[in-house]
Amino acid sequence: MEFFFVFQLLVLLFSVVVHEVSHGLMALELGDHTARLAGRLTLNPLKHIDPIGSVALPLLLSLIPGGVVFGWAKPVPYNPYNLKDPKKGGALIALAGPAANVVLALVFALAYRAGGGFGAVEPLIASVIIINIALAIFNLIPIPPLDGSKILFWLLPRGTEAAQAFLERYGFIILLVLIFSGLNFLFPAVEFLFRLFVGV
């Protein structure tokens, strides 16, 4: 059980690092070199660890019976003024993170199918898929500072600035409430996509 927990933490850490690096790579593709100049286009986890999101929160959540172990890395910086269309560019940069997690989930799902579940290591492969699906869905929630909020703000019409300001002001509080409520609303979507990916 302890090995499985440590394995999940390592998968979570690697997955959030890939998520953040993908943001930086998309920004670079769109003409912004901020992440590259900050040394954040690397898979070295030490460059991305956030004391709260990468260490304290996952450990705290692990102590809650039946809780979901979750976390995040330090956001990769980008300068919107280096983008031709800051709102659209920001949305594409935001989307790159969840997209990377979906790709990881699909790669391991293909391995899962090809190996027939891999026998004894089947739960480990399945956990990689589940964690990355959960990260993708979670980050697409349209609440700041999550990636979904940047996509939402790009899609919203003019005249909704007050709603955006409210979400930006209270988004982190709402997010913490969702996390400590157990994120139960994620489970049906995660289960559906997991079954779809692995062909169960």
* pLDDT digits 0-9 by tens, 5-28: 788 888 988 999 999 999 999 999
Residue 39's alpha-carbon distances to 21, 36, 46, 71, in angstroms, are 10, 5, 11, 22
81 pLDDT above the threshold of 90: yes
Q: At 8, list the tokens.
A: 């999940």
Q: Which of the following is catalytic: 2, 20, 161, 168?
A: 20
**Does residue 200 or residue 19 have the better pLDDT?**
19
- 137 contacts 190 by C-beta, under 8 angstroms: yes
For residues 128 and 115, what is the distance between their CA atoms, to the nearest angstrom? Answer: 15
Residue given tokens 């600035």 in the structure block? 161
68 pLDDT above the threshold of 70: no
Q: What is the mean pLDDT of the chain?
A: 88
The pLDDT of residue 1 is 57
Q: What is the pLDDT of residues 125-151, one digit of tens each?
A: 999 999 999 999 999 999 998 999 999
Mean pLDDT of 39-63: 84
| Cα-trace Rg, the chain | 17
The pLDDT of residue 78 is 94
Residues contacting 184, CB < 8 A, separation 6+: none
Catalytic status, residue 2: no
119 pLDDT above the threshold of 80: no
The total number of residues written for the chain in this structure = 200
The pLDDT of residue 24 is 96
117 pLDDT above the threshold of 60: no
Mean pLDDT of 156-180: 85
pTM: 0.88
Region label for 49, one of left (φ > 0), alpha (ψ between -120 and 50) or beta (otherwise) = beta
